[in-house]
Structure formats: structure tokens, C-alpha cells
Structure 1
Amino acid sequence: MRYLMLILILFHFSLAFADGRDVEYQVGGDTFEGYFITQQSSQPLVLLVHDWDGVTDYEKRRASMLNELGYAVFAIDLFGKDVRPTAVAEKRKLTQALYSDRKRMRSLLNGGLAAAKQLGANVDNTVVAGYCFGGAAVLEFARSGADFKGFVTFHGGLTTPDGQDYSKVKSEILVLHGTADKAVSMDDFAELAQTLEEEGVKHEMITYSGAPHAFTVFGSDRYREDADLKSWQRFTLFLDQNLRSN
């Protein structure tokens, strides 16, 4: 039934786009452009963090799928308005700049949260989710002690920066990973699992056989339908368990 629902959402996603809008906001004097979609302000909220392409139609498509399921979504922009890199070198430069400046990464994440709040989104009933680079940013948000109902990473970076730990995490972490991922190794996966267990952080970590890095990206040569559908099913159940029960 959930697979059928996903197929129907994919078919109708272009219609749902009409309900969403680009939103400019300021962080530290710089202009950013996120994406907001909602049916009513009281809806549970998903804060969505983009991959290393920036906020593109991929994030808007996922936001529309979530909105069809009854969630408001605000896609946070960590790069800046009109910064949507297409060359690998530029993507790497932008992401490495934030990986090397975790204070700024946290500031931009909190700036996105503030923008969502300004829009009237239900920030008190929120899960944060991200893809690839966005998944690593989600874990950064979790380590900062941000008070959300859960954190979800799809094929994201899993290493813990020097000097950081998970002692401030306030809610469950869900990690959805491809076993065939060459960018983020199973050693990284195992190390994170051990860290979370040792630090007493509630977590669930799943790997999908044959799934490479970026296995959820529609239309790419890395897309794996089986892993995408299964991870989406687990994600939506996680949202239901953590946001609908309130």
C-alpha cells in the first residue's frame, strides 16, 4: 500500500509544486532562498537539508511528496540565493567550506529554522532530514543539541568531526545507507553505530544491499528503486511515529 502511495505521489508531484513557494531570508546579512510548502500552519514540519547541488527540483519534489502525506516542509538553503552549483569542483568547494567551519554550518541551519518559524511553521513538532551533504548537516544539527523530534539522514556523511560528540542529542537518529556506498564506507557506518551506542543515543541504522551513494536521486545512474522505496517507507513510518503521536 505504501509503495502504491509513493507511485501516486510521484505521478502527481508536479501539481503539488503549485502549492509551494521559494522563500528569501537573511542569515548574518547574507541572502538565502529556501522552499516552503504547507496546507495549514498546524501541520507537523519536516526541515529538509539539500545535497551538494543546493535547493533544486529534487528537494522540491521530495517536499511535495511529504506534503501529500500531510507534512509541511521547509527546505533550508546552506549555500545562498542563486548558488546552485553544477560542476563537481564547485560543489566540493562549497561543501568543504562548511565542513571546515562547523560554527557557520550550525548558524545557517539555525537561520533556516528561524525562517521556518517566521513563516508560521510548526517548529515545535519537527523532524530534520537530509540527503548526502544534507545528511551530514543533519547529524551536525543533532550534535548541536537542537531540540527536534528526530533526525534522519539518507546516504549522508557519517564521520564525527574532531572535538565533537553526541552527548547533547535530544531525540532518535535514523540512518538510511547504501551498503555499496563507496563515498561513505561501511567502516564509517559501523563506527557511528558504536559511537551512538556508547553515548546512549537512541538510533536505528539500516543498509540496503547494492545501493551506492546517492541511491535516492531520481533519474541518475546511482538510483536504486528498491532501496529508495524501502528507505522512504521507513522514513514516513518514522515521521508518523515521532510527529503524529503528539
Structure 2
Amino acid sequence: MAQENNQPTPAEAEPKTDPEFIPAWGPRVEGEIFEYSTGGETYQGYLARNVNDETPRPAVLVVHEWWGLDEYARARADQLAALGFVALAVDMYGGGQVATHPDQAGEFSSQVMQDWPAARARFEAAMAQLRQHPAVADTGMAAIGYCFGGGVVMNMALSGMPLEAVISFHGAPTQAASARGEFEGVVQIHNGGADSLVARDDLSAMARALEAQGANVKVINYPQALHGFTNPDADALAEEFDLPLGYNAAADASSWQAALLLLDKTLNQ
């Protein structure tokens, strides 16, 4: 009695490959030092992008907290790069300086805000250099900022910088811009409802000033959120330096989602 041969033929043994189902690679985010110069000084930003994506993408500038261009600002740039933007965490202090104590941070940030023409020149130099990068699309740009950086980007809008969107997270609403200009973009301000470092009157005055320059302004307050509510290190910094800071996961997630929706609407359409 003949035995059946159940072994597959060579043709059947070969796996069938359908080109339509070959998986694509996800984002591979890489960061690099990004230098730009103005006023005889060199600034060391951090550029993050998805190197698996060869299509030029819209750019977002990220302005750091008063501590300087630290790991938190770089992490936010990495997040934006993974989501399809080219992100530049700018260096507003020069030489990549990072403060290690609130007194030093206050000194650094005050020097920047008290000389607004120089601050604007630094930001403009970063924008101009960023536009030359081959990974950046020839479209509009946006800027986001945290604490000190939130104040910087709000003042950039007051100055009439060519940005499609400006987003501030627990930003200082001091009006430092010495010269005002028309701003046709959107300004989104995320503020902690329990933030003792941001005066409500100052925040309202900033919103009114931005509207007077033509901006579409939206202020979002998060109940019980303290200053620095987006930074997971805020609790540790509060304990170390006795500062009224605090991380708030719900406010962090909500504000980030709102920011991403605005970036998508203003930069990707």
C-alpha cells in the first residue's frame, strides 16, 4: 500500500510575500546640536527630527523654562519629532548654559527679558537658520514655550513674529516686547488655576494686548494645577528649592493634546 506524501512541494514551502503588507518603519527620532549666531554670540539649540521620514515637515520652535535648555526641553522636542514635526529647542541663554539654582535661573531669565531686542534677535536667528535645514518644509512655523519660555513666545507674538501658532504652558505673562507688530496667528495659553507665580491681572492684560495685535487668543485654566504642571520633575524641584511648583498629570495630558490639535490644524492643513 502506497504511503501519501504530505510534505509541501518547494513552491508551496516558500512564504508568500504581498508587497502591500510589508510593514513600514515607524519614526526614528534623532537629535543633534544646532548652532546659530547673532550679536557675535553662538547659541547651541537642539534639533530633533524623524530620520526615517524624507519628506520636509513643518517646524516647531520650543523655548525652555528658566533653567535653560535642559533634558526636559529636549524631551519635548523629541516628542514633537516623533509626531511628524521638525522641532528645534532653542538656546536663549547662549553657549547652552543651564542653571542649577533658582537664583542663577532668575538672573539668566531676567537678562533676556530686560533686553527684548536682543532676545528677539536670538529667536529670529534660530528661525532663519532652521528655515535653511533640508528637513524643514517651506511652510509656516509655530512656537511653544514653558514658564520663562511661555513668556518668550507670547512676547514673540506681541512683536508680530511670522508664526502660525504660539502656545504657552504656565508662561510668565510679562509684556517685554518693546516694539509691537500685527500678529495674525493663534495664541493658546495654558495656565494653572492654582499657580501663585502668575498674576491673573497680568495674564488678562497679556491676552488683551495679544488680541489688540490681531491674535486669536484662547486662555485655558486648569483647576488646582500649580506652576510647572507639565514637568514631571516639578515636584522634586519644589522640594529641593522650596518653590510653589507641582506636576499635574491630568493638566499635562489635556494641555498637550490641545496643543497638538492646534499644531496639526495650523501647520498641516
- Say whether the fold is shared (TM-score over 0.5): yes
- Cα drift, residue 82 of structure 1: 3.7
Pick the aligned partner of 2:156 from 125, 141, 152. 141
2:140 corresponding residue in structure 1: 125
Which 4+ stretches in 1 moved above 4 angstroms?
162-165, 197-200
Indicate the RMSD between aligned Cα atoms, in angstroms: 2.1
Give runs of aligned pairs for residues 67-216 of structure 1, distance below 5 A. Answer: 67-120=81-134, 121-122=136-137, 124-161=139-176, 165=180, 167-198=181-212, 200-216=214-230
- Cα drift, residue 197 of structure 1: 4.2
- Cα drift, residue 219 of structure 1: 2.7
Pick the aligned partner of 2:44 from 29, 33, 37. 33
- Is the 8 Å Cα contact of residues 139 and 267 (structure 2) preserved in structure 1? no
- Cα drift, residue 162 of structure 1: 7.8
CA deviations 1:116-145 (Å, max 9, x no partner) are 123232363211111111111101211221
State the alpha-carbon separation in 1 of the partners of residues 114 and 28 from structure 2: 34
Give runs of aligned pairs for residues 16-55 of structure 1, distance below 5 A. Answer: 19-39=30-50, 40=54, 42-55=56-69
- Is the 8 Å Cα contact of residues 55 and 77 (structure 1) preserved in structure 2? yes
State the alpha-carbon separation in 1 of the partners of residues 105 and 33 from structure 2: 21
- Is the 8 Å Cα contact of residues 183 and 213 (structure 1) preserved in structure 2? yes
Stretch deviating more after TM superposition (77-86 or 207-216): 77-86
State the alpha-carbon separation in 1 of the partners of residues 159 and 257 from structure 2: 28
Structure 2 unaligned runs (5+)? 1-26, 236-245
TM-score, normalization: structure 2?
0.79
Stretch deviating more after TM superposition (35-44 or 136-145): 35-44
TM-score, normalization: structure 1?
0.86
Closer, same or farther: CA 89–148 of 1 in aligned 2, 3 Å: same
1:12 corresponding residue in structure 2: none
Structure 1 unaligned runs (5+)? 1-15
1:244 corresponding residue in structure 2: 268
2:225 aligned counterpart, secondary structure: coil
Seq. identity, %: 31
Aligned residues: 230
Larger radius of gyration: 2
